Structure 1
Amino acid sequence: RPAFERELAARYPGFDSISERDGDARVPAASRSFYYPVALVEPLAPNASAIGFDLASHPDRLRAIRRALDRGQPTLSAPVTLVQETEGGRAVLLFVPVERRGLLIAVLRMSDLLAAVLPASRDRRAVELTDVAAGQGLHADADADGDADGMVLRSAVTMTAVDRQWQLTVSTAVAPVLVTWEPWAVLVAGGLLTWLLAVLLLVVTGQTARVARLVEERTAKLAASESRVRTIVDHVFDGVLSVDEDGVVAAMNPAAVRMFGDRVGESFPSLFTDAPERPDGGPSLLELEGLRSDGQTFPLELALPAPSPERGGHATATVHDLTERKRVDRLKDEFLSTVSHELRTPLTSIRGALGITLGTMTATLPKRATDLLALADRNAHRLTALVDDLLDLGRASAGSLEIIQQRVSMSALVADAVDGVRTYASEREVGVAVEAHWEGDLWVDPQRMVQVLSNLLSNALKFSPEGGEVRLVALEQGERVRFEVHDRGPGVAPEHRERIFDRFHQADASDTRAVGGSGLGLAIAKEIVERSGGSIGVADREGGGAVFWVELRRPRHEAAA
């Protein structure tokens, strides 16, 4: 409907929407599954108001339309009041089907037709044409009641025109001594009327050639478009399901049938272990478990569109099977875990040997050798930290990342986190400042939370300019405690904020990036914080830079105090 209304609005300036009649007023047509709006009218000037009027909005017209389309033959409607008439003109509509997809409509005003076929007379005459089935009159002239000095002659004839029966009645007031052939004229007029209707039908049918060609061209374009869409839908790897307003699966593409089996006619929620909730606002992307026809489950990603009044309750859902992705992720995690364990043992030996050498032999070694040993020791520590991150990542993926919560003071957490990065800050020549606006205890895993704060501080130091300063702020927000790490680096672009906490994601992933890193620290920090019942995020810092924040719940008795 919206596309059709846009097309008519472009063709006819001033057109607003498909309309119907509500009493004497024209109102936008109610929402329904089909419309038969007037799309073309000739001549346009006196009939412009008919453009967009839905002929299906009245049951009599709808019956005539369906009869014409079902039979493939011209059909007359019952008498109607024309929407473009300002004085309530009555007429019948002749519906001529065109390729069974459209209708050519001729408007037959009986007043014009009768005026053409009845002879002029000075006598008072009343003419009425009645639809026998509907019992409705189409046309009546002034009454011809007899008077004291005259009499009234009435004559009626019944005829069939385009599958409907009509009765033509003519009443004439005449003088008593006047002999007239008016009744015979009525019979002649009735025959002439039938002949004119037949001629009009031939003329109208003859004019359908141009409309038929136009409909044929548009039908071919529509068929080609539908074929292209069907080809795309049938060959995509994702499942596409059409769901009606009752939540029942109305159609499935081949990919959806391969996932669920043929489930047309079943309830849409029955395809999942947990019924998906339809979005209230925008579209939603959900990760769920699907149910195959044999009862087996499989992981999937379900995309649901936002509700739209134009579609009513109908919706099209897209399903992506995550089975292969999950399998690859599991293999990757197992590989990383295996490699990490294999690397940790030799790294421990290397670090031990370097530590002994630097601690006992530096006095006897040349400065160049001592510098190289110190460089090797620093890199060994970096590799160990990377291996630890990979092991934590593997544990998080397997759901076995251990969080042991206990009461710990906020000041102790902050002090340990700052001590852990003090050497790195000195190397970077960046200062670290602490602003504590709240003092109290938290219920967290102290080792893991120090790991989170140290990671945020290390990132801030890494991206801060030489001579800058990084601030760690602790403050109270209702029943939660918030830690903020402020830096003066380049900040985080908006397009990276949603994914910066994903595994291996880096804002600058190019080979020429100025700052290194594995892209694991923030992903592990997010896992730790969320398992601790908190949240983590990033925002812009006023004046430039970024603010990474962590919010944690306070112990209940602390919050109550």
Structure 2
Amino acid sequence: MNAEDIIGGALKDRRSHDLAQSKLVMELLAYKANDRDHEINAELLGQLVLKYAEAERKLTELNQLKNKFLGMAAHDLRNPLSSIRGFSEILLLEETGPLTEGQKEFLAIINKTSDEMLHMVNDLLDVSVIESGKIDLNLKLYSAQKLLEERIRLLHIVADKKQIIINVDRADVPDFSFDTNRIGQVIDNLISNAIKFSPIGSKIDISLKQVGGKVEIAVQDDGPGISPEDRKKLFGTFQKLSARPTAGEKSTGLGLAIVKKIVEAHGGDVWVESADGAGSIFKFNIPMEAR
């Protein structure tokens, strides 16, 4: 090995050593910077958490105020609307005297509109009560088959107006404890929606059966189906879907949200099986043993 090789090797080793030292210094500086960044990030994170907590508190207060206002407004509106609907029905029966065709027409409009408004008010009341977390279930031993028959009987008039046939398949299910008014409300809503979105002259299939320790009710229609986008927001409050009722019926966008809350309060589940353009099947179940 000559002197040139020795000197070259030494210089190479020196450069390698300097490079290693420089790399170490850079790593230390980066670590210090990262450490400082971590301190800053932790401080910022703490500030963000506090801001988020405050924003959440304000939103909770606003939501409570909204529910209180909705409840008060709906309650104050319900009595006069009930009176308008009731008296218009009496007048239409001509118990107070004969009516002209024009009077009958106007009274029918008043009656129909007040009925729609009353349904909307009742929905608002339900939403305000349910969202406030004050939903109380009045559990009592009853027959699910009997309740289903009662509710279908009431809705047959609406179905007949659209020439819709309702088919029912009921299995024998033992009586169990549930809130008959609330579950009746769920059944009403699902069947009413099926009628609302079904074509004239179509059919609706309703089934009741026991699946394990739960009772399951399904309502199937021949409507337009539900798109994937609509399914994502289906059970939210004040949600309007792209599908429209087939006879111009009104919708508040609250019914399915109420259905979900009632079913979940019973410890059950509600879901939909649907494809765009191929009808829908709404199903819900509730446990037969009280929670």
Q: Does 1:195 align with 2:7?
A: yes
C-alpha separation in 2, matches of 1:255 and 1:195:
55
C-alpha separation in 2, matches of 1:336 and 1:509:
27
Matched letter for residue 256 of structure 1: G
- Who is 1:464 aligned against? 198
Cα shift at 1:343? 1.0
- Who is 2:210 aligned against? 476
- Who is 2:235 aligned against? 501
Q: Does 1:372 align with 2:100?
A: no
Q: Does 1:355 align with 2:89?
A: yes
For residue 398 of structure 1, the aligned residue among 103, 126, 132 is 132
1:250-300 deviation line (CA, Å, top 9, x unaligned): 943625325349xxxxxxxxxxxxxxxxxxxxxxxxxxxx9xxxxxxx48x
Q: Is the 8 A contact 2:225 2:276 kept in 1?
A: no
Number of aligned pairs? Answer: 277
Matched letter for residue 536 of structure 1: V
Cα shift at 1:538? 0.8
Instruction: Note the 1:25-424 alignment, pairs <5 A.
Output: 117=1, 194-200=6-12, 251-252=41-42, 254=44, 256-260=46-50, 298=53, 321-361=55-95, 364-424=98-158
**SS state of the match for residue 547, structure 1?**
strand
Q: Is the 8 A contact 1:405 1:446 kept in 2?
A: yes
**Relative to 1, partners in 2 of residues 1:353 and 1:257: Cα closer, same or farther, differing over 3 Å?**
same
Q: Report the aligned-residue RMSD.
A: 3.6
C-alpha separation in 1, matches of 2:224 and 2:238:
20
Unaligned runs of at least 5 residues, structure 1: 1-116, 118-188, 231-241, 243-248, 262-289, 291-297, 300-320, 557-561
Q: Which has the higher helix share?
A: 2
**SS state of the match for residue 81, structure 2?**
helix
C-alpha separation in 1, matches of 2:119 and 2:181:
15
**Relative to 1, partners in 2 of residues 1:424 and 1:514: Cα closer, same or farther, differing over 3 Å?**
closer
1:119-175 deviation line (CA, Å, top 9, x unaligned): xxxxxxxxxxxxxxxxxxxxxxxxxxxxxxxxxxxxxxxxxxxxxxxxxxxxxxxxx
Q: Which has the higher strand share?
A: 1
- Who is 2:225 aligned against? 491
Q: Is the 8 A contact 1:536 1:550 kept in 2?
A: yes
Using the size of structure 1 for normalisation, the TM-score is 0.44
Cα shift at 1:498? 3.5
C-alpha separation in 2, matches of 1:348 and 1:543:
38
Q: Is the 8 A contact 2:226 2:243 kept in 1?
A: no
1:47-94 deviation line (CA, Å, top 9, x unaligned): xxxxxxxxxxxxxxxxxxxxxxxxxxxxxxxxxxxxxxxxxxxxxxxx
Q: Is the 8 A contact 1:441 1:555 kept in 2?
A: no
C-alpha separation in 2, matches of 1:369 and 1:520:
33
C-alpha separation in 2, matches of 1:430 and 1:448:
25
C-alpha separation in 1, matches of 2:97 and 2:63:
50
Matched letter for residue 259 of structure 1: V
**Relative to 1, partners in 2 of residues 1:250 and 1:530: Cα closer, same or farther, differing over 3 Å?**
farther
- Who is 2:185 aligned against? 451
Using the size of structure 2 for normalisation, the TM-score is 0.82
Q: Is the 8 A contact 2:224 2:277 kept in 1?
A: no
- Who is 1:537 aligned against? 271
Cα shift at 1:551? 0.6
**Relative to 1, partners in 2 of residues 1:431 and 1:375: Cα closer, same or farther, differing over 3 Å?**
farther
**SS state of the match for residue 155, structure 2?**
helix
Q: Greater shift after overlay, 490-499 or 380-389?
A: 490-499
Matched letter for residue 280 of structure 2: A
Of all paired residues, the percent bearing the same amino acid is 27
**Relative to 1, partners in 2 of residues 1:420 and 1:441: Cα closer, same or farther, differing over 3 Å?**
same
C-alpha separation in 2, matches of 1:451 and 1:475:
19
- Who is 1:442 aligned against? 176
Q: Is the 8 A contact 2:227 2:276 kept in 1?
A: no
**Relative to 1, partners in 2 of residues 1:198 and 1:429: Cα closer, same or farther, differing over 3 Å?**
same
Q: Is the 8 A contact 1:491 1:540 kept in 2?
A: yes
- Who is 1:136 aligned against? none
Cα shift at 1:361? 4.6
